[in-house]
Amino acid sequence: MTDNTRLSPGDTIGILGGGQLGRMLAQSAASLGLKSHIFCPDPNSPAFDVSSNFTVAPYEDVDALDRFAAAVSVVTYEFENVPGPTAAHLDRKVAVRPGARALSVSQDRLSEKQFLADTGVAIADFREINSQEDVEQAVAEFAGKSVLKTRRFGYDGKGQLMIRTPNDVANAYERLGSVPTVLEALIDFECEVSVIVARDLDGNCASYDIARNHHENHILKTSTVPAGVAKETLDAARNMAEKIVTGLNYVGVMGVEMFLVKSGDSEELLVNEIAPRVHNSGHWTQDACLTSQFDQHIRAVAGWPLGAATRHSDVVMENLIGHDADDWKAVLEEPSAKLHLYGKAETRDGRKMGHVNRISSKAT
Amino acid sequence: MTDNTRLSPGDTIGILGGGQLGRMLAQSAASLGLKSHIFCPDPNSPAFDVSSNFTVAPYEDVDALDRFAAAVSVVTYEFENVPGPTAAHLDRKVAVRPGARALSVSQDRLSEKQFLADTGVAIADFREINSQEDVEQAVAEFAGKSVLKTRRFGYDGKGQLMIRTPNDVANAYERLGSVPTVLEALIDFECEVSVIVARDLDGNCASYDIARNHHENHILKTSTVPAGVAKETLDAARNMAEKIVTGLNYVGVMGVEMFLVKSGDSEELLVNEIAPRVHNSGHWTQDACLTSQFDQHIRAVAGWPLGAATRHSDVVMENLIGHDADDWKAVLEEPSAKLHLYGKAETRDGRKMGHVNRISSKAT
């Protein structure tokens, strides 16, 4: 439903997904006087603990979706892989934000790249791949290193294959499951950065400072702000991010990941991927900004004006992954650290259990 | 129960009282990976919306209290008028923090003043009053203006009578309900300030910057930090606050209200009253400090170390009282304002509906 719904305090935001992102969205909603209703198939969802209402049901349960739609004023989601039919069904009953187009574009790596290219933001060269022959032809055209990625359901490095040697090419299509894929030119980047951008119902945009991201085992480990890039690069990043959300007629917060490429003194940015939701690399905003990305997303999907995306402190966000979270006591002893834990019952390797924001005075 | 209970993430904090203070405590608990269980007789308590569990029962319901005590690792409270027998009953089953002594002292204005005087902090002169004759004798002794206050259940200016003229003296005891009261010398103060102080299980203290408080109709309207007092005054305030919590063997956050008295260039502080809980005049810490008073209280009652009480921004907190909260849209338009709403269903005159923190860069 494309409408102009604007919420009032006391109204309810429906959230698809009950993980840590849904949890932190529900916490921001509560601070702003809104209620939240979490919809998640997992009966142990950490978001249930902090929301006024929740539904445990599969995303395909049409009756449960109808009751959910009737109980809320607007629907948003914490993950981009909301099944298309679920989003479409809800969209006929209630405003779904950021919006169906953002979901369909970001669920398919090829559509995403085509959209980004059409929008005029810089991206790495890519080819659509539907066979082993396609792989071989594209690798030859790129004449360099490349990476093969499935079009759907990839995250944290899953569904990817590096192609550096002829051996890597052999059976590559089959090794990724013989599903539609995209071949991307491999970029020799300095680092990954990201922009958290928001757009409201009236089309106003606000983007936070860019963060420099460091990954370990393909999972985000730290985000550092300021990122240590030129002012022009910062402006360019924000510019691209705002172009993207405007192009999608987007309402809410989006995470835009970019590669920073250096040649000599010049810095160039290539958009890697977009996430139509609050983003792990924006958790630093909770303690370094007056308006966090979670507050910002709630404001946008409520049809409210955006808050300022300014920053009062420098910050390094560190993810607590798996047994990292066992160190919570040591974190509590650090005077400049703020501990965030997600209330997950079971610690598993690779599972995001919490994060820490370490702030310091803003360097001038 | 005086014990050394220390919680781990996933444990549950019991909170007596489901108003906005209980709500904001539950929100901080969740951010730190703790669960909360709210106990409140009011089925419409705003804190229920953000807590993992709650009980609706009178504070005198012993069975409900027993079930509550069995379900939590520690109990705290959002208000100082927890019935004595309730606190005593719980204390036999589970650690109650800040502690029984803090409750009994702060529930009786006379005990509180005697304790403060014994602790060696400066307070206004006072007399115990049990009859109209006592009033008349004490007024004569003070030879100036004074204020008669009931010993129990006074708040927001209720249960008080100003005595400025002989007319005010007539029937004063009867007019306050013929209950035990205290007569205080009326202080000609410059302003009211307050210190939010915390003490952990190991006896470490941390106190925030003092706030300058402005009241309207006997209800706190704004708290401003910095308060614009001399550095020595700031140190003295913190010193007194830490003396008080140490004297009570206190665990948690306390609000200490003081009168600032000026004579020429010199500033003197007199402690007015203490609140053994998080305090309205400490709401500014949510957006001007990394560790808010709510985080701090949760850390202390969990048996965890305190966070730093340092401040990264200057701030003015404004209460949204009654229909003030109807202006939420205008607040959202202000770039330096953070809106906090308590999710109360009904707006009533004099009811605290929310607050706004307006921050700015720290003046050096």
Task: State whether B155 and B195 are in the same domain.
Answer: no
Q: Would you say A158 is a known binding-site residue? A: yes
Task: State whether B306 and B208 are in the same domain.
Answer: yes
Mutate to test the interface with A, among B7, B11, B24, B32 (most CBs of A within 10 A): B32
Residue A40 lies in a domain: yes
Q: Residue A154 has what pLDDT?
A: 65
Task: State whether B332 and B232 are in the same domain.
Answer: yes
CA distance A53 to chain B (A): 8
Q: How far apart are CA A26 and CA B351, in angstroms?
A: 25
Residue B109 lies in a domain: no
Q: Residue A100 has what pLDDT?
A: 82
Please tell me which residue of chain B has the smallest CA distance to A334: B307
A335 touches B at CB < 8 Å: yes
**Arithmetic mean of pLDDT, A80-86:** 92
**Where are any strands of DSSP class E within B226-351?**
252-263, 266-275, 313-321, 337-341
Q: Would you say A156 is a known binding-site residue? A: yes
DSSP A99-133: -HHHHHHHHSHHHHHHHHHHHT--B--EEEE-SHH
Task: State whether A80 and A133 are in the same domain.
Answer: no
Joined tokens for residue B300: 């202390």
CA distance B211 to chain A (A): 20
**Arithmetic mean of pLDDT, A48-57:** 96
Q: Would you say A184 is a known binding-site residue? A: yes
Nearest to B27 among A27, A34, A328 (CB): A27
Q: How far apart are CA A15 and CA A9, in angstroms?
A: 17
Q: How far apart are CA B112 and CA B110, in angstroms?
A: 5
Q: Would you say A186 is a known binding-site residue? A: yes
Mutate to test the interface with B, among A23, A28, A50 (most CBs of B within 10 A): A50
Residue A76 has pLDDT above 60, yes or no: yes
Largest Cα–Cα distance of chain B, in whole Å? 60
What is the count of structural domains for chain B? 3
Task: State whether B242 and B332 are in the same domain.
Answer: yes
Q: What is the DSSP letter of A187?
A: P
Taken in order A227, A228, A231, A233, the sign of the CA dihedral is negative
Q: Looking at chain B, how many residues does it have?
A: 364
Any idea what the CATH number is for the domain that residue B68 is in?
A: 3.40.50.20
B97 touches A at CB < 8 Å: no
Where helices occur in chain B by DSSP H, the ranges are 20-31, 62-71, 84-91, 100-107, 109-119, 132-142, 166-169, 172-175, 231-247, 285-288, 293-301, 328-333
Residue A107 lies in a domain: no
Please tell me which residue of chain A has the smallest CA distance to B292: A338
Residue A111 lies in a domain: no
Nearest to B305 among A50, A333, A345 (CB): A333
Q: For the stretch A55-83, what's the b/e string if a residue is b when 16 or more beta carbons lie within 10 angstroms of its beta carbon?
A: bbbebebeebbeebbeebbbbbbbebebe
Joined tokens for residue B32: 């730190």
Q: Residue A108 has what pLDDT?
A: 93
pLDDT for A305-352, tens place per residue? Answer: 999 999 999 999 999 999 999 999 999 999 999 999 999 999 999 999
Q: Residue A1 has what pLDDT?
A: 55
Residue that terminates a domain, selected from B51, B78, B96:
B96
Task: State whether B309 and B334 are in the same domain.
Answer: yes
Any idea what the CATH number is for the domain that residue A246 is in?
A: 3.30.470.20
Residue B114 lies in a domain: no
Q: Residue B1 has what pLDDT?
A: 55
Residue B104 lies in a domain: no
Q: Phi and psi of B82, rounded to 5°?
A: -55, 125
Residue B351: name the closest of B38, B19, B17 by CA. Answer: B19
pLDDT for A270-309, tens place per residue? Answer: 999 999 999 999 999 999 999 999 999 999 999 999 999 9
DSSP B1-13: --------TT-EE
Q: Are the C-beta atoms of A21 and A37 separated by less than 8 Å?
A: no
Tell me whether residues B343 and A10 touch, CB distance under 8 A: yes
pLDDT for B230-266, tens place per residue? Answer: 999 999 999 999 999 999 999 999 999 999 999 888 9
Please tell me which residue of chain A has the smallest CA distance to B333: A305
Residues of A in contact with B342 (CB under 8 A): 33
Residue that terminates a domain, selected from A151, A185, A219:
A185
Q: Residue B99 has what pLDDT?
A: 87
**Arithmetic mean of pLDDT, A203-214:** 98
Tell me whether residues A30 and B23 touch, CB distance under 8 A: yes
Task: State whether B151 and B213 are in the same domain.
Answer: no
Residue that terminates a domain, selected from A185, A210, A229:
A185
Q: How far apart are CA A94 and CA A39, in angstroms?
A: 14
Task: State whether A199 and A224 are in the same domain.
Answer: yes
Residues of B in contact with A50 (CB under 8 A): 27, 30, 50-52
Low-confidence ranges of chain B (pLDDT < 50): none
Q: Would you say A159 is a known binding-site residue? A: yes
Residues of A in contact with B289 (CB under 8 A): none
Task: State whether A25 and A46 are in the same domain.
Answer: yes
* SS3 state of residue B236: helix
Give the H/E segment covering residue B205: strand B205-207
Any idea what the CATH number is for the domain that residue B160 is in?
A: 3.30.1490.20
Task: State whether B179 and B207 are in the same domain.
Answer: no
Give the H/E segment covering residue B360: strand B352-361
Residue A219: give the domain boundaries.
191-361
Task: State whether B270 and B334 are in the same domain.
Answer: yes
Question: Can the peptide bond before residue A226 be classed as cis, meaning omega within 30 degrees of 0?
Answer: yes
Task: State whether A156 and A208 are in the same domain.
Answer: no
Mutate to test the interface with B, among A24, A35, A290 (most CBs of B within 10 A): A290
Residue A160 lies in a domain: yes
Residue B146 lies in a domain: yes
Q: What is the DSSP letter of A163?
A: E
